[in-house]
Structure 1
Amino acid sequence: MKRLAPLLATVGLIATSVPLLTAPQAAAAQTPGYMRQQPDWHRCSPEQPVTYECATLKVPLDYQHPQGRMLDLAISRIKTENPGKRRGVLLFNPGGPGVSALFRPVGLNTSIPKDVRDQYDLIGFDPRGVGKSSPISCGLNADEG
């Protein structure tokens, strides 16, 4: 029995460790593709500041069916000029339906205190169906909408 105890302990350790080794791979496989995207940032336009960048993300039309129809979501940013102090992002939500916030980083960049701009990237977006994001139709004509 004394010889069997180390063998059982080793088998128990292996049995409990194997799921831990495979868990990150399983979690990555279950994460929908749209959540693993990396934006392809580029200058928005020659008329805008060089620091103002845009990208497009693919998002589900219906999050209950994430493998279904996808839409383009237009996003923008102005990165902090002080990456050593960066703490994250400030996302500008446009609020009410049909309102764009894609240009908010440019519009608010000068009114936000420098110490805040040093710590955060400024992020804007056009909600689904608004501005440069994919249009959405509910099947109504202009008279019904």
Structure 2
Amino acid sequence: MTVEKYLAAKIPGYPVTALDGVLEDAAFSPCLATPPLLALDLGDDIAEHKDDTEWMRSLRYALSTLYYSISGVFSGGSRSEQVGDVHASLSGFIITQSDREYYRSMGDKLRTEIGYEPEEQVQEQGGMFDATSLRTPNRPKRWI
């Protein structure tokens, strides 16, 4: 099985055509790790590298990157077409909040298993500000 097929198979029900750039990014991501691992080629046969520990760590790192990428995806919409009397609907894919949490936890688990820190969530990096206390209180409306 190739790296491309392996990574795509880990995201069941997700349209594989939408994964084109995402799979390439995941395969390249190990070489950007600190300390760096090996970048993977999507055409590599996994069976040829099963005894290479460093290569397998790179594969697990790439899979964790894929999980992180999927955890940030928006659900896809549906579309419908009509030609004459024939009406066809193509439904999109749905990613729920629990799906996002699952994929994120899988990415965290893989990174920890191979000795890397889990990726920080965006809101943890941004320092979000809670402006709840700045809201104006509900006042009765005056009618003129």
More helix as a share of residues: 2
More strand as a share of residues: 1
TM-score (norm 2): 0.26
Q: Bigger radius of gyration, 1 or 2?
A: 1
TM-score (norm 1): 0.26
